[in-house]
Structure 1
Amino acid sequence: MNFITKTSSLQKLITPNLYRFYSSKHNLTKSSLENGVQTITMSDTKGRNTLSVAMLEELTNRIKQHESEQALRAIIITAEGPVFSAGHNMRELLPEAGREQHKLVFNNCELLMMSIVESPVPVIARVDGVAAAAGCQLVAQCDMAVCTDVSKFSTPGANFGIFCSTPGIPIARSVKKMTALRMLFTGLPISAQEAKECGLVSVVCSKEDIDTELLKITSAIIQKSRSVIELGKRFYYKQIRYDIREAYDLGSTVMVDNINLKDGQEGIKSFVEKRKANWSHSFK
């Protein structure tokens, strides 16, 4: 079966390249789209940017907000204040909230995490501060993460009688076992440098340099074909579920599909002809 699914979403063009910065109805997040990069900002500083049901729903909606627009090339998730996110809102997990409420919290959390995986463009966490429990999960689930050298990461759920089982899912897929289990069993935080060394974050830098580092990454992404990046992202998350032989079998098919895309052909021709590629960003 052809790995590439033709969709109309990547064939839509939008005229404006800049959206006004605006807040949601709950004032928990803000979003802007400029020069191909959507920045989603958690702005519940009073609540330490906890991932309440409302916050989870808003973040999911923000991630999906422009996904069908060809102008969108990357998403950055960041936060106001010294706490990126303190994790779930514990009031929503009190016994009196009831089992159905508890299910609602974790179902919405799953929807958010999967919206990151299923987004057609790279999703990057921008962390300047503390990312704890489900906040750490959010960082680990992003495709990349850039953090300042003062940032800290932890999964302290066991301290409060709730093991960080769901945060452990993306952490186990990003972080070396010894570090992942130390975080999950002890609840002790790790530093930004430790997070870099164990694979939780991509880049560590100073506060002054974080936006420069993000610009370097997003600029590199924007220079590529959106359809090729989408194909590659979907294949990456698919192939890690298979053993190596099955992954290679699937990968060979995907490479052939990629080469026969309009942008695959354009990329090869531009390389041979030593010129800049003119991408269509489509799945034709």
Structure 2
Amino acid sequence: MKNHITTQMSVYQEKISFPIKKIVGSACLMIFLCPFWLIAGELSISSPKTNVISVVKKSQKNHAKQITSVQKTSDGFEVLTDGLGDYGGLKDVCWTKKAFLTNQDKKIVVKESEIIVKDKKGGILVEYHNSYDYEKQNLAYEKIEIVRNRSTKKNIKLKGPTCDDVTMMQFLQSYLQRDNGRLLDYFYLVSIDGDMYKVDIETLEQESLLVGTSEIDTIKYRLIGDVGVFTPIAKRIFPSTYVWYEKDYPYRWIQYEGMDTGKNSKNIVVRIETLFP
């Protein structure tokens, strides 16, 4: 769910000096739709399944449909998403996202996550795998491109609360909405290409959003790529990323606006179509 770079970005970047371009340019990568390190969070499973649709923001054309479920397992949780549409720069594909989470030292942490993208005939096009070692503070990333017969591997140092394309919405749900306010000011996001970015969280206004035939009271948040002293510049130049979460318990994620999967991906709006009680 989701993230975006538009051709306007290149125009903006040409107007700023090279050192700033190099740093600020990374800001466009870091917010996209989701390895999960919940320091004091509690993952709600009161809404185990949701129907999700996404549209291209500018044209309002259909982008993808997904069904996401959160299932309790013997030692934690499993997040599972099945999708159909456009994803990661590929058109008319289907995909499965899966993440396994467990309880560790009174924290909910991800053990592993994966994304499998297939063509309509069921042939695998690309795979993404993340495996987390919290003792070594390391994330083992692998991207397998079947058509190109190529594999990319990275070891990424875990620096703090971290999430990826598979887990971002559940991760933020556990932190943002609480009676005593949000429990997190920033987090680290790992892209489907294995790049890690620091993301700041800004609380905005309350909004009522229509889900099916019901209005849901939500709180809107802005996600801002943290590039140090250049963050204010990036905030003005690049399109913003927003998430909306239910105002009251169980604090469910309702809507996302931002890049699909990161670099060169479309600016999309992802919203809940159906909430299952």
TM-score tier after normalising by the smaller chain length = under 0.3
* Larger RCO (alpha carbons 8 Å, 6+ apart): 2
Larger strand proportion of the pair? 2
- TM-score, normalised to structure 1, is 0.27
- TM-score, normalised to structure 2, is 0.28
Larger helix proportion of the pair? 1
Larger Rg over CA atoms: 1
